[in-house]
Structure 1
Amino acid sequence: MSSRNNNHWTGGNRIELLENGEQFFPRVFDAIRKARREVIVETFILFEDKVGLQLHAAMREAAQRGVKIDLMIDGFGSPELSHEFIEGLTSAGVKVRVFDPGQRFMGQRLNVFRRMHRKIVVVDGERAFVGGINYSADHLLDFGPKAKQDYAVELAGPIVGEIHQFVLRAIALGGKGAGWLRRRLKLAPPSSQARAGEADAMFVTRDNRRHTNDIEWQYRAAIRAARKRIVIANAYFFPGYLLIKELRRAARRGVDVRLILQGEPDMPIVKTAASMLYHHLMHAGVRIYEYCDRPLHGKIALMDDRWSTVGSSNLDPLSLSLNLEANVIVRDAAFNQVLWERMDRLMQHSCKQVEAADLASEWSGWRLVRSFFVFHILRWYPALLGRLPRHAPRLTLAEATDLASQRDSGRGDPAGGATQTEAA
């Protein structure tokens, strides 16, 4: 059972929207370079490209001057890091942990499900970053047509203390224990509880034990409460039946409901899956826009004039039913307005609105058959995916271990392994 009722609003925060790598990476790297005591980074993807090397340099420099650095990467999302890359961090004192490292079979990665998909940074317990941006060059515009459109937030204020405790518990549950957690929490400065702004914020996560549907529940509750507008921009859109039903109900009661989805997807199946829902949604009055400049990777939404969210969670089976995710929900008119202006700019200049005429060419009989199957998939997939094995994901400490060699040979685990029974 989900403990979503434990989620609560925390006041007194400053929250700034960061768009794409051009805004996100310099801010994060600067915060790491200025860190005094501690940096914790969680990411799904870390590539050994120009962005990954900049993160590597910032963490290594901070560690060499005595800052405690903890880096958690996902074993599926970040499988290609070289021995030199890892050794360069660990030799400087950076603790590199791999979430559920997997071995390959016939060259293929099999550890696909229940991934650590969060993107979080906490610096000195005073500043935090949460969003959907990974550490890879494809989040920069100069990457070319496949550069991703994405978002994150920088936070200061009491909510940072909650995020800080969360990431420390994730490490402690990986084998460090309660005593280690208590010692690290003592490093949190009193200023982490000081007011930094006027925004209310809620840090909401999803895992496979105690918080199985918290993020989806928050979405559905906000949709039910909306009276004016709902705008959702989401890269991978194939939510469950209950969320689709709430969107249709909102549109039918007069709410301006808009979806910004991928028009130039990084994976073609993404657009195919989402387009299966177009008739069902548009028939109820939902407006659909396809972002066509390049692949959309964002996971953002707003409801009415105060509620907004930015995070790592897509609205698809992996994020809603399997992966470990983290979103920040904001209750603040000023932030809502900033997010609305960014989303409106996308719809005005970078999107094609899907019209009924665009769908009219489909054979009505095929549409009826497809709708029948899509309806039942949406209705039952959360329960079916929940029956997949809930393995205890391993959080393995990499101590100058050649992960690439271990990956290719398929033998054993990196030295110094510890097991994580549940990531927060």
Structure 2
Amino acid sequence: MSRWVSGNQFHLLENGEEFFPRVFECIAAARHEVVLETFILFEDKVGEELHAALHQAARRGVQVDMTIDGYGSPDLSPEFISTLTRAGVRVHVFDPGPRLWGWRTNLFRRMHRKIVVVDGERAFVGGINYSADHLADFGPLAKQDYAVEIEGPIVADIHGFVRRALAAGQRNAGAEPPAGLRERFSDRARSLAGAWRGDSIPAPVGEASALFVTRDNRKHTNDIERHYRAALRMARKRVVIANAYFFPGYRLLREMRHAARRGVDVRLILQGEPDMAIVKTAASMLYHHLLDAGVRIYEYCERPLHGKVAVIDDDWATVGSSNLDPLSLSLNLEANVVIRDQAFNSELGARLEALIRNNCKQVTHDSLVEPSWWRTVRSYFVFHLLRRYPAWAGWLPAHTPRITPAGQGLPNSAGPTGRDPEPVSQAKPV
């Protein structure tokens, strides 16, 4: 179970301009170990820079484990992978799947986490993938997103989690875990031991308390949503949620409405220029329902919003990979950090306020023009869908997650360059 850990320090990283240089710098300074998980890795300028950083770390003797999702990162070239593995990088693929008539399979229950742990002492958690569309120079389709750099005792929990996930996935695939992953400690013993290899828990470095919260399809099916709901129930002054893919379940939506009705300033920042049209369509189906309760809605219009962050009152915040939609809340494997710290809350809150002030348009009742009969029909449909979709999600294909070596996990690389014929911006983000 997640536990509050005190003595941490968090540094907010906005977009690839802040995130990538810092991650690559820490990998370059790694002494013993780098563990990385990502949903998307593209073979573009960002992917090549990550490739170089991991390659150099492995060449100087650092143990490097990189896990990519078989659906999100299906087209890396054999050369890209083999150069890493020859240097000693252990490249793992989560649930690899073949293509069917050119379409990627394994649509559901993806490994959507974005985590890096360096030497068991420093971690990164957020929503940023390793692709050039997280940089402003990508153009109008560049994504707006966030991550955090973490120091302090909570890093031990993150480190233990990624190591356990890697070992369990390999066992499920029938593979022998690499040396150093065979020990089976209890969760409590591993937590007390700190890092997987027995290193001490990182010393306290700050004032922030934190929870590392994950979602899976076994024991922790609704942990992230549950923490959102609890924070909304406790909110007294303000709630600001910036979320790219917004179609939450009934209970989470109800807590937002209840908070607004008791006088809390509840604001949502959603996509105004979505990377997929259905994203805006789905969210807009909830607008009347939320506006009627007093929730204020803003659409971010500068470029696609990809963030998954929130601040509540003066000291609660969360940053991570989880959207507030059926995929993230009911299917995908996700990871967020929940942070209690006034300084971090103030910084993230200020950046979201600037986003609202400079780059958003407010949605009002007057701006929603639609026939009253359609609104009634749609509201009925949405109400019942929101109540039922968590249960319906359980009917979708369930399986035991597998992690396999990259040579077995990317059978359909797209030729010598590993690139799809369509532009990188056409890849499906989640």
TM-score w.r.t. length of structure 2: 0.91
2:405 is aligned to: 397
Change in CA separation of 1:152 and 1:186 when aligned onto 2, cut-off 3 Å:
closer
Asked whether the 8 Å contact 1:81–1:404 carries over to 2, the reply is: no
Query: How far apart, CA to CA, are the structure 2 residues paired with 1:140 and 1:406?
Result: 25
1:89 aligns with 2:84: yes
Query: How far apart, CA to CA, are the structure 1 residues paired with 2:350 and 2:272?
Result: 20
Asked whether the 8 Å contact 2:232–2:312 carries over to 1, the reply is: yes
**SS of the counterpart of 2:299?**
strand
Asked whether the 8 Å contact 1:83–1:404 carries over to 2, the reply is: no
2:426 is aligned to: none
Query: How far apart, CA to CA, are the structure 2 residues paired with 1:186 and 1:163?
Result: 10
Query: How far apart, CA to CA, are the structure 1 residues paired with 2:406 and 2:75?
Result: 14
TM-score w.r.t. length of structure 1: 0.92
Deviations 1:90-147 (A, max 9, x none): 0000000000001111001121100000000000000000000000000000000000
1:316 aligns with 2:325: yes
Written as runs of structure 1 = structure 2, the 5 A alignment for 1:49-88 is 49-88=44-83
Written as runs of structure 1 = structure 2, the 5 A alignment for 1:136-285 is 136-174=131-169, 175=171, 176=176, 179-180=182-183, 185=195, 187-190=197-200, 192-285=201-294
Structure 1 position 382, deviation (Å):
0.5
Q: Report the AA paired with residue 199 of structure 2.
A: P
2:381 is aligned to: 373
1:104 is aligned to: 99
Change in CA separation of 1:128 and 1:181 when aligned onto 2, cut-off 3 Å:
farther
Asked whether the 8 Å contact 1:168–1:181 carries over to 2, the reply is: no
1:418 is aligned to: none
Structure 1 position 387, deviation (Å):
2.4
Query: How far apart, CA to CA, are the structure 2 residues paired with 1:292 and 1:406?
Result: 35
Change in CA separation of 1:157 and 1:140 when aligned onto 2, cut-off 3 Å:
same
Change in CA separation of 1:218 and 1:142 when aligned onto 2, cut-off 3 Å:
same
Q: Which runs of 5+ in 2 are unaligned?
A: 416-430
Asked whether the 8 Å contact 1:103–1:407 carries over to 2, the reply is: no
Query: How far apart, CA to CA, are the structure 1 residues paired with 2:33 and 2:256?
Result: 42
Query: How far apart, CA to CA, are the structure 2 residues paired with 1:394 and 1:161?
Result: 24
Written as runs of structure 1 = structure 2, the 5 A alignment for 1:352-367 is 352-359=361-368, 361-367=369-375
Q: Report the AA paired with residue 318 of structure 1.
A: L
Deviates more, 1:381-390 or 1:31-40: 381-390
Deviates more, 1:176-185 or 1:56-65: 176-185
Asked whether the 8 Å contact 1:230–1:304 carries over to 2, the reply is: yes
Change in CA separation of 1:167 and 1:355 when aligned onto 2, cut-off 3 Å:
same
Structure 1 position 245, deviation (Å):
0.6
1:9 aligns with 2:4: yes
Query: How far apart, CA to CA, are the structure 2 residues paired with 1:101 and 1:226?
Result: 42
Query: How far apart, CA to CA, are the structure 1 residues paired with 2:15 and 2:413?
Result: 33
Structure 1 position 272, deviation (Å):
0.2
Change in CA separation of 1:162 and 1:306 when aligned onto 2, cut-off 3 Å:
same
**SS of the counterpart of 2:182?**
helix
Change in CA separation of 1:110 and 1:188 when aligned onto 2, cut-off 3 Å:
same
Query: How far apart, CA to CA, are the structure 2 residues paired with 1:156 and 1:181?
Result: 26
Query: How far apart, CA to CA, are the structure 1 residues paired with 2:243 and 2:113?
Result: 16
Written as runs of structure 1 = structure 2, the 5 A alignment for 1:404-423 is 404-405=411-412
Query: How far apart, CA to CA, are the structure 1 residues paired with 2:409 and 2:167?
Result: 24
1:331 is aligned to: 340
Q: CA RMSD in A?
A: 1.6
**Aligned equivalent of 1:305, options 297, 314, 319:** 314
1:386 aligns with 2:389: no
Structure 1 position 370, deviation (Å):
0.4
**SS of the counterpart of 2:213?**
strand
Asked whether the 8 Å contact 2:315–2:345 carries over to 1, the reply is: yes
